[in-house]
Structure 1
Amino acid sequence: MQTIQANNYPIHFNEKAYEALNLHLKVNKYSNVFIIVDSNTNEYCLPQFLPYLETDLTIEIIEFEAGEENKNIETCVQIWNVLTELGADRKSLVINLGGGVVTDLGGFVASTFKRGVDFIHIPTTLLSMVDASVGGKNGVDLGNLKNQIGVINVPTMVLIDTHYLETVPQNEMRSGLAEMLKHGLIYDKIYWEQFLDLKAIDFADFDELIYRSVVIKNEIVSQDPTEKNIRKSLNFGHTLGHAIESYFLENQNKTTLLHGEAIAVGMILESYISWHKNLINEEEFLQIKTTIKSIFDDISFNDNDIDPILELLIHDKKNEYGSIQFALIEGIGKIKIDQLVENELIIKAFNDYKS
């Protein structure tokens, strides 16, 4: 697969990725290398990665406990302290080896340590390959509020090796699939239609689907790196999805959802809203709802859940001037940003989902 040129950094794939990494280490005079992993990638991915690394530089491994609940400023402080203790300086390189939590948090740590050191993302989950590692968004959660603290700062490069997916559980693979479905719904109807029957997909060609998803994300981000316009389209399913994810994260009576599981619900709800705003027709809505529900288990909501979820929308970082901004689809493969939606319609969407 050809290297994709993003805004000021390349995205390399599979074998080419390690060639590019080792050449980069050879020509840049780094003082040392720090590899940030979580407890899962330390066990399952780091042993695969280290044999590819060709360098005489000192390599230090920094591990933190896996899980969205650890994507916070406290973990960052711990890692900044470890970097300091191990002698990291402005010429250090940080390599983030892991899923979306690792790339989000590791990118933020590197972007802020000594006002910024070079970092490279090596995503190891489907979600991080097609979404989290591409586009330069780095950050952490504030309490249960998703991605409230962060920066937009691009990595030196992104290396995507799909062999790491062999270490990923099935529910994590489905989680990443949600973002791929989103890319089709907002940008490429033909790409979306490839997922209408998962049984018909030849998973020997799955690398090509991943590649297309990365191309879509990159094309959108390259037009609008700081999310003033078209990049807002990537928020489809996320306005409600993030609120649902946050609510389930903070509520002890709920099972914590994976990001993609929450976004899958968000896409169904926001497709319902798109239908009732006459942006898509009923046939398109039912196709979206049926397809997503065929892949993801239903999430249970009771009447007491809805109001707290609506309250969490107030904190959505996409809001402007106190108004909740939605990105809705305008026909499959197209998007309409900055849409205001009244609470009554959101409640109807939840009722439809529950029915």
Structure 2
Amino acid sequence: MESVKSQSYEVHLDELAKAAINQHIANKNYSKIFLLVDENTKEHCLPIFKEIFDHSIDSLLEIKSGEENKHIHTCLQLWEDLSNFDGDRKSILINLGGGVLTDMGGFVASTFKRGIDFINIPTTLLSMVDASIGGKTGVDLGSLKNQVGVINQPQMVLIFPKFLKTLDARQTKSGYAEMLKHGLIRDKAYWEDIVAKADFTDAARIQKSIAIKNDVVLQDPTEQGVRKILNFGHTLGHAIESYCLDNPNKKTLLHGEAIAAGMILEGYLSHELRGLSKLALDEIKKAFLTYFDKVEFTEDDIDAILQLLKYDKKNSHGNVNFVLLQDIGNAATDIKIPEELFSKAFAYYKE
């Protein structure tokens, strides 16, 4: 399957991915090869990786899985591990895991010795279609998502759809939310295709989603303009995700589950402010509620979630900036929201 060319690297799939990593390692003469895993990818994905990888791993680094471990203390552990195992500027870190692991592994590599090479091998659908493109690395600050990080590109990203067989259904559906988002912001035909028939592991669709995100990123690598459309559903979605992560009385949501709710809410705001038709809005709500359970919000929950909006990374000069849809496949950025519309959006979500 054809590779996707990004800024300074390529995303390779399946057999091309296998050939690419083995040739790259053979040519580069790295002083140390480090492999980063969590307990899940160590058990389920490492055996598959060893069949793919023709070279020796010098040191295996392991972290605990989960968003709650995506913080600077885990980075400190990894920087110390790299140093204790004699890592130097000619080392490479291979990140084998989902978006939490590749975000954090990329950040650790980008800052250790002022930057060493890294390769990302995403093992979840979410990380394949989202975190694999764009070079965003980083960690959370408390429960606030991705507050500390840098944009830095990997040597390559390798997609092996066989890793998806190691996931439970909930994790796979979480990634499908990002695929649906790609259709909503950029490609109406793609949206209609993946809404009409769900296939969470289809390699051609994975490649299509990667290509859509890549096209946006190539136009705006540092998120000054059009790249912001990739944040549709994420302004409220990240606030919902952070609130549920930090509240012991709420079920912790996967990223895709939170942004699915966020896309319905921001779809309503799009209808009110950017002319998204009621028919399209209802279609969006129906599609997401087909795959994702409705999240229960009390008035206190909503107030707390709205308070978290001030920490969103897209904010500028004290303003909370939203991405909204003008139509399915057509998004607009930097939209300010009248405060009274938030309660109406949550009321529509609850209907």
TM exceeding 0.5: yes
> Quick check: 2:244–2:250 contact (8 Å CA) kept in 1?
yes
Deviation at 1:277, TM superposition (A): 1.0
Describe the superposition over 1:137-173 as per-residue Cα deviations: whole angstroms up to 9, x where unpaired: 0000000000000000000000000000000110001
Distance 1:17 1:278 in 2: 41
Give the corresponding residue for 1:27.
27
**What CA distance in whole angstroms lies between the structure 1 residues aligned with 2:274 and 2:57?**
59
User: Could you tell me how far apart the structure 2 residues matched to 1:59 and 1:346 are?
Assistant: 52
AA aligned to 1:39 is E
1:170-189 → structure 2 map (5 Å cutoff): 170-189=169-188
Q: CA deviation at 1:103?
A: 0.5
In the alignment, structure 1 residue 329 sits paired with structure 2 residue 325: yes
Give how far 1:202 is off.
5.9
Q: What is the alpha-carbon distance in structure 2 between the residues aligned to residue 333 and residue 52 of structure 1?
A: 37
Task: Give yes or no for contact 2:92–2:118 (8 Å, CA) kept in 1.
Answer: yes
Map residues 79-228 of structure 1 onto 2, 5 A cutoff: 79-198=78-197, 201=198, 206-228=202-224
Q: Distance in 1 between matches of 2:48 and 2:57?
A: 18
Distance 1:87 1:202, change over 3 A: closer
* Amino acid paired to 1:153: N
2:12 match: 12
Decide whether the 8 Å contact of 1:104 with 1:133 is kept in 2: no
Aligned length: 351
Structure 1 residue 32, shift from structure 2 partner: 1.1
Matches within 5 A, 1:269-280: 269-280=265-276
Instruction: Report the alpha carbon displacement of residue 16 of structure 1 after superposing the two structures with TM.
Output: 1.1
Distance 1:342 1:83 in 2: 48
Counterpart for residue 256 of structure 1: 252
Q: What is the TM-score of this pair, normalised by structure 1? A: 0.97
The answer (yes or no) to whether the contact 2:321–2:336 under 8 Å persists in 1 is: yes
Q: Distance in 2 between matches of 1:294 and 1:181?
A: 12
- Give the C-alpha shift of residue 58 in structure 1: 4.7
Quick one: distance in 2 between partners of 1:279 and 1:337?
Answer: 14
Alpha-carbon shift at residue 195 of structure 1 (Å): 2.3
RMSD, matched Cα: 1.0
Distance in 2 between the 1:267 and 1:74 partners? 32
User: 1:213-239: per-residue Cα shift (whole Å, max 9, x none)?
Assistant: 000000000110000000000000000
Q: Tell me which stretches of 4 or more aligned residues in structure 1 moved more than 6 Å.
A: none
- What is the rounded CA distance, in whole Å, between the counterparts of 1:169 and 1:238 in structure 2? 23
Q: Percent identity?
A: 54
2:51 aligned partner? 51
TM norm structure 2 = 0.98
In structure 1, runs of 5+ residues without a counterpart are none
SS at match of 1:152: coil
* Residue aligning to 1:62: 61
Distance 2:194 2:254 in 1: 20
User: Does the residue aligned with 1:63 lie in a helix, a strand or coil?
Assistant: strand
Q: Unmatched 5+ residue regions in structure 2?
A: none
* C-alpha contact (below 8 Å) 2:95/2:101 kept by paired residues: yes
Aligned twin of 1:244: 240
